[in-house]
Amino acid sequence: PPNSTPTSRLVERRQATMGPTSVLFYEKPLHVVSAEGVWLQTADGARYLDVYNNVPSVGHCNPRVVKAIADQAAQLNIHTRYLYDVVHTYAERLLATFGAPLDKVAFCCTGSEANDLALRIATAATGKRGFVVTEAAYHGNTAAVTDVSPSSRPGKPLAPHIRAVPAPIGAGLEAFASNVEAAIADLERSEFGFAGLIVDTIFSSDGVAADPAGFLKDAVEATHRAGGLFIADEVQPGFGRTGAAMWGFVRHGVAPDVVTMGKPMGNGMPIAGVVSSAPLLKAFADSTGYFNTFGGNPVTTAAALAVLDEIEERGLVANAADVGGHLLARLRGLTNRRGQIGEVRGAGLYLGVDFVRDGAPAPETATRVINALRERKILIGAAGLYGNVLKIRPPLVFERAHADMLVDALDEVLAEG
């Protein structure tokens, strides 16, 4: 039977065919065969609690999403230049979660494409090319988006039209707006000018930054004063994860000009989007054409519609607030035996545990904890400029009992090391 294939043989086949760009987790990668809710099943019959995957946010193999995909695939799936009902229904439902003037959406397939489009919209609107980002940001993998993703260029200088500011964590929090202002001024003195500020509103790859809610306000005001656009990358915090609202920027009381989204949008179907206002999209469309063969096709939009139904009908935003609040309180209550925990941060079901040793970032603790939790059948990852922040980002159907399993296991693991 296929499930008895040794893991090492699968790794060999993967390396033989896909080579160096094929990224795998763990020294002994997991061979997964099925999943349900917050659980992943491996070929050896074990079951893992998923605290890592935000894409299947309404639960792995969510029955409503599975049925929507199957039904739509059996009826019609086609490129996006025809009229078909589901995309319009979805666009209306999605846009209803935004306020004016965010009343238009363009669909694409990945968060990277969405951010690429957002950068182009900002450049078309302002006639400028310079962007301000955070130091360990990740916004995707196209050539243009890699330029605004310093975490993808470790040790390399930034592209000349990019300025990076420290994330709003620790000393970077107080200085965030003034750092953004200085970066804007520097770009305005350059040949590139200032087109916009792009941030992930939960700062996931920077190591998670959520509080105090509202800290983005001054930076966004400075952006607008300088004539730039504020692009809110909601790929990570969007679709209810912060427990406060559908969109992470809402916690900060700011008004983005462009919002990008992806990952959980189709619970695993490749659908992503850019929401903006009619004038901004017109400025872009007037300067260049845009077509996306698969972006918003019938099957992916049917999945996305089922995701919205699940979020709304099952109260998953409130669940993120409730379970996330419980988890945050329990994490903050952990006995910090050797002072390994510097800070616990986050909102809803996006939390970060910042590991330190003698006041300095401790990525080795994060790595040890990740591997020890894997032995206890819990899947989790790390983030941050130094890779020392445990990244807690489970499917939104996570329950208090799951949160307790995680914290109890983490407590044991920290007691050992």
In the stretch 51-90, what mask flags binding to ligand PMP with x, by CB under 6 A? ----------------------------------------
Using rule CB under 6 A, residue 241 touches ligand PMP:
no
Residue 262 vs 298, nearer CB to ligand PMP:
262
The minimum distance between CB 413 and ligand PMP, in angstroms, equals: 26
Give the span between the Cα atoms of 139 and 147, in whole angstroms. 9
Give the span between the Cα atoms of 208 and 189, in whole angstroms. 31
Residue 193 vs 268, nearer CB to ligand PMP:
268
The minimum distance between CB 113 and ligand PMP, in angstroms, equals: 7
Residue 241 vs 263, nearer CB to ligand PMP:
263
The minimum distance between CB 125 and ligand PMP, in angstroms, equals: 21
Residue 162 vs 235, nearer CB to ligand PMP:
235
Ramachandran quadrant class, 151 (left: phi over 0; alpha: psi -120 to 50; beta: rest): alpha
Using rule CB under 6 A, residue 200 touches ligand PMP:
yes
Could you say which of 56, 59, 140, 172 contacts ligand PMP (CB under 6 A)? 140
Using rule CB under 6 A, residue 206 touches ligand PMP:
no
Using rule CB under 6 A, residue 262 touches ligand PMP:
yes
CA-wise closest residue to 270 among 239, 307, 301, 247: 301
Q: At what angle do helices 298-313 and 63-75 cross, to 10 degrees?
A: 150
Stretch that binds ligand PMP, among 61-69, 231-239, 278-286, 324-332 (CB under 6 A): 231-239
Alpha helix segments (H runs only) across 76-216: 85-95, 111-126, 143-147, 171-174, 176-189
Give the span between the Cα atoms of 203 and 233, in whole angstroms. 9
Residue 283 vs 370, nearer CB to ligand PMP:
370
Stretch that binds ligand PMP, among 11-19, 118-126, 233-241, 383-391 (CB under 6 A): 233-241
Beta strand extents in 171-305 (DSSP E only)? 194-200, 229-233, 258-261, 272-276
CB 395 within 8 A of CB 40: no
CB 75 within 8 A of CB 68: no
Alpha carbon 123 to its chain's center: 23
The minimum distance between CB 314 and ligand PMP, in angstroms, equals: 24
Pairing of strands 381-383, 389-392: antiparallel
Task: Give the binding-site size for ligand PMP (rule: CB under 6 A).
Answer: 15
Which contacts (CB < 8 Å, 24+ apart) does range 92-100 have? 93/305, 93/308, 94/273, 94/275, 94/304, 94/308, 95/275, 97/246, 97/247, 98/247, 98/259, 98/275
Using rule CB under 6 A, residue 352 touches ligand PMP:
no
Could you say which of 84, 138, 176, 230 contacts ligand PMP (CB under 6 A)? 138
Using rule CB under 6 A, residue 346 touches ligand PMP:
no
C-alpha radius of gyration, the chain, whole number: 21
Instruction: Give the side-chain half-sphere CA count within 13 A for 333.
Output: 9
Cα angle vertex 305, ends 238, 252, to 5°? Answer: 20
Using rule CB under 6 A, residue 163 touches ligand PMP:
no
Could you say which of 64, 128, 139, 402 contacts ligand PMP (CB under 6 A)? 139
Could you say which of 235, 269, 316, 413 contacts ligand PMP (CB under 6 A)? 235
How does DSSP assign 319-344, residue by residue? HHHHHHHHHHHHHHTS--TTS-EEEE
Using rule CB under 6 A, residue 350 touches ligand PMP:
no
Using rule CB under 6 A, residue 236 touches ligand PMP:
yes
Using rule CB under 6 A, residue 393 touches ligand PMP:
no
Q: Which of residues 88-117 bind ligand PMP (CB under 6 A)?
A: 110-112, 115
Q: Which residues lie near ligand PMP (CB under 6 A)?
A: 110-112, 115, 138-141, 200, 204, 233, 235-236, 262-263
